[in-house]
């Protein structure tokens, strides 16, 4: 049996027997309904939160026209870039990953939900 390396929502590398959390963009779209009150992903438009269009690869706290918390802009200045691993850790528990973030969302507890939301976000490059 071959081991597969996966990133969990906690940012821990897991060696599994070939089973990583699913990356299902359609399921991620359903989970993203929890985010829609504050974010859009299909347009470069800020709401209560910044647009998430093109978030993969973006430096934290840098979307033009959005007023971020000092904690988020400091995270970006310190080198935080939204890739799959950092997003997974952040989405699991935003206030733990970036202490002082304005985001009120408590996070997604299920690794599968996190993986699916990331798959959904990846469909919307800038």
Reported as a single tens digit per residue, the pLDDT across 16-69 is 444 466 689 999 999 999 999 999 999 999 999 999 999 999 999 999 999 999
Asked if 58 contacts 72 with a C-beta cutoff of 8 angstroms, the reply is no
Residue 126 pLDDT class (50, 70, 90 cuts)? confident
Residue 13 resides in a domain:
no
Residue 93 pLDDT class (50, 70, 90 cuts)? very high
Q: For position 20, what pLDDT does the model report?
A: 60
Is the pLDDT reported for residue 8 higher than 70?
Answer: no
Residue 8 resides in a domain:
no
Q: What is the mean pLDDT of residues 90-115?
A: 95
Reported as a single tens digit per residue, the pLDDT across 106-115 is 999 999 999 9
Tokens in use for 32? 């993203």
Residue 6 pLDDT class (50, 70, 90 cuts)? low
Domain that residue 77 falls in: 21-121
Asked if 114 contacts 123 with a C-beta cutoff of 8 angstroms, the reply is no
Q: What is the CA radius of gyration of the chain?
A: 14
Residue 38 resides in a domain:
yes
Residue 52 resides in a domain:
yes
CATH number at residue 58: 1.10.760.10
Tokens 């647009």 belong to: 51
Q: For position 22, what pLDDT does the model report?
A: 60
Residue 55 resides in a domain:
yes
Residue 7 resides in a domain:
no
Nearest alpha-carbon partner for 115 in 38, 11, 39, 44: 11
Domain count, the chain: 1
Residue 1 has a CB neighbour count (10 Å cut-off) of 5
Residue 1 resides in a domain:
no
Q: For position 84, what pLDDT does the model report?
A: 95
Asked if 33 contacts 39 with a C-beta cutoff of 8 angstroms, the reply is no
Residue 6 resides in a domain:
no
């Amino acid at each position: 049996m071959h081991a597969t390396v996966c990133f969990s929502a906690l940012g821990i590398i897991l060696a599994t027997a070939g089973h990583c959390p699913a990356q299902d963009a359609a399921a991620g779209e359903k989970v993203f309904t929890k985010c829609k009150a504050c974010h859009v992903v299909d347009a470069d438009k800020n709401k209560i939160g910044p647009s998430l269009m093109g978030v993969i690869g973006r430096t934290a706290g840098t979307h033009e026209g959005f007023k971020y918390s000092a904690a988020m802009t400091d995270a970006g200045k310190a080198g935080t870039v939204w890739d799959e691993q950092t997003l997974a850790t952040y989405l699991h528990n935003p206030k733990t990953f970036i202490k002082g973030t304005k985001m009120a969302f408590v996070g997604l507890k299920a690794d599968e939900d996190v993986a699916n939301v990331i798959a959904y976000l990846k469909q919307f490059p800038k």
